[in-house]
Chains A and B, each alone.
Chain A
Amino acid sequence: MAADKVDPIHQFHIVKLIPINIGGYDLSFTNSALFMVATVAIASAFLYLSTSSRSLIPGRLQSVSEMAYEFVANMLRDAAGTQGMKFFPFVFSLFMFVLVANLLGLFPYFFTITSHIIVTFGLAALVIGTVIVYGFMKHGLGFLKLFVPKGVPILMMVLVVPIEVISFVSRPVSLSVRLFANMLAGHITLKVFSGFVVSLSALGALGVAGSVLPLAMAVALTALELLVALLQAYVFAVLTCMYLNDALHPSH
């Protein structure tokens, strides 16, 4: 269809590959699920194969894996201290999953799972759920001290506590929307500019000449999107670390 080429929303459509319906819920294996599997498979295969030689002096690929590992380890240690290291597998999985999903989405014709709010919200809810469950498990009701900053006069508590509660509740929303909106907007922009190239070049010689500008823009945007893909994975991981720090040390 010619329309698909210039429709920036088409790339976000969910297509059922294997329809599955259980108890009235549509649990089909879709293109989204396919790319989740691909993300996990690629990330796992890379981490597994690049470290299979266990070299003392790492090769290039092993260096990449080690860098990612130490990067996340340092991030978590800086944000949540050594106690936070018990969440290291969780944060590392999140970082690698989001990173590979974002990067995979940059390929033409590939589906970007992080451009769907439900996926990013699922991950964000997992983070906040972990924070809440672990916070109450470790500190009991002391976890609620999170909402009561130290050294604030009683009178001010009336104002401060609701603000703290609202800020806590908005965390999963901001965490998920940030990633989702970045990926969605980037991919739409990219598609729009690429669509201009196609539309303009259909208009003859003048159009082909004019399409150079959006083409250059699309190239530049691709580089920007690569940066955004990396940055958003980093931001997601960093915020996860900071929220986990709250679970470990509720009284700030």
Chain B
Amino acid sequence: MFVTSAFAQESAPAAEGAHTGTEGDTHSGTGVPAEAHGTFPPFDPATFPSQLLWLAITFGLFYLFLKKVVMPRLGGIIDVRSDRITQDLDQAAKLKGEADAAVAAYEQELLEAKTKANAIGQQANDAAKAEAETARKKIEAALDKKLGEAEASIASIKAKAMKEVGTIAEDTASAIVDALVGGKASKVEIAAAVKSVAR
């Protein structure tokens, strides 16, 4: 601190000499620094016109440059990006929808195919059953017919045999009578006797 103030006081005349051309000690209300160096530089009105002019020029050009060149470009970049993002999101949503639809269609088809397969199986089963049934009935009918025929033939054979049994019995009886009695029994008598016995 001590050193600082000493230097400041020493340099005061030199600084004054350097700046005498610009302005005098008009403002001295800011205290020690102002006294040592004339006006405190930020409050020196002599520099105001120049600073304001150059501020207006530089800031004006800066404003125009940003407005005409930089900001449309930056805004464009950001807009393009957000457009692209929404577009990509839309695309993704669309693709997801398509994928979902494909899955649904696939499942629907699968279900249809399953029911169809079941129906076909059932149909085949039924047809096979019906066929087997008709075949069975046919065979049964044939067998019944054969059975009937067989029974009929058995009956006819039986009748024939029975008939023959009568004649055999008659013959046998006539032979027995012949042998035992030695007389001839009339055929009619024997037949009547056999018949009465047979019944």
A interface residues, Cβ below 8 angstroms from B: 1-4, 6-9, 12-14, 20, 25-30, 32-33, 36-37, 39-40, 43-44, 47-48, 51, 54-56, 58, 62, 65-66, 69-70, 88-90, 92-93, 96-97, 113, 115-119, 122-123, 126, 180, 184, 192, 195, 199, 202
A9 contacts B37, C-beta separation under 8 Å: yes
A108 vs B81: C-alpha distance when bound (angstroms): 40
Indicate whether B56 reaches chain A with its CB closer than 8 angstroms. Answer: yes
A48 contacts B78, C-beta separation under 8 Å: no
Closest to A37 in B: B58
Closest to B59 in A: A97
Closest to A100 in B: B62
Chain B residues whose C-beta falls within 8 Å of the C-beta of A47 in the assembled complex: 66, 70, 74
B62 contacts A97, C-beta separation under 8 Å: yes
User: In the complex, what's the smallest C-beta–C-beta distance from A103 to chain B, in angstroms?
Assistant: 15
Indicate whether B26 reaches chain A with its CB closer than 8 angstroms. Answer: no
A32 contacts B66, C-beta separation under 8 Å: no
Q: How large is the interface on B (under 10, 10 to 19, 20 to 34, 35 or more residues)?
A: 35 or more
Indicate whether B105 reaches chain A with its CB closer than 8 angstroms. Answer: no
User: In the complex, what's the smallest C-beta–C-beta distance from A36 to chain B, in angstroms?
Assistant: 4
Q: Mark B1-41, 1 if CB is under 8 A from A, else 0.
A: 00110011011001100000000000000000100010011
Chain B residues whose C-beta falls within 8 Å of the C-beta of A43 in the assembled complex: 62
Chain A residues whose C-beta falls within 8 Å of the C-beta of B54 in the assembled complex: 29-30, 32-33, 36-37
B52 contacts A118, C-beta separation under 8 Å: yes
B50 contacts A9, C-beta separation under 8 Å: no
Indicate whether B46 reaches chain A with its CB closer than 8 angstroms. Answer: yes
Given A30-B51, A48-B65; 10 other pairs, CB 8 A cutoff: A3-B10, A4-B11, A30-B47, A43-B62, A47-B74, A48-B70, A51-B74, A113-B51, A118-B51, A118-B52
B73 contacts A54, C-beta separation under 8 Å: yes
User: In the complex, what's the smallest C-beta–C-beta distance from B69 to chain A, in angstroms?
Assistant: 7
Chain B residues whose C-beta falls within 8 Å of the C-beta of A66 in the assembled complex: 74, 77-78
B7 contacts A6, C-beta separation under 8 Å: yes
What would be 18 A-B contacts, judged by CB atoms less than 8 Å apart?
A3-B10, A6-B3, A6-B4, A7-B8, A51-B74, A54-B73, A56-B80, A62-B77, A69-B71, A69-B75, A89-B71, A96-B62, A97-B59, A113-B51, A117-B43, A119-B51, A123-B59, A199-B3
B84 contacts A3, C-beta separation under 8 Å: no
Within B166-192, which residues are at the interface with A (CB < 8 Å)? Answer: none
Chain A residues whose C-beta falls within 8 Å of the C-beta of B63 in the assembled complex: 89-90, 93
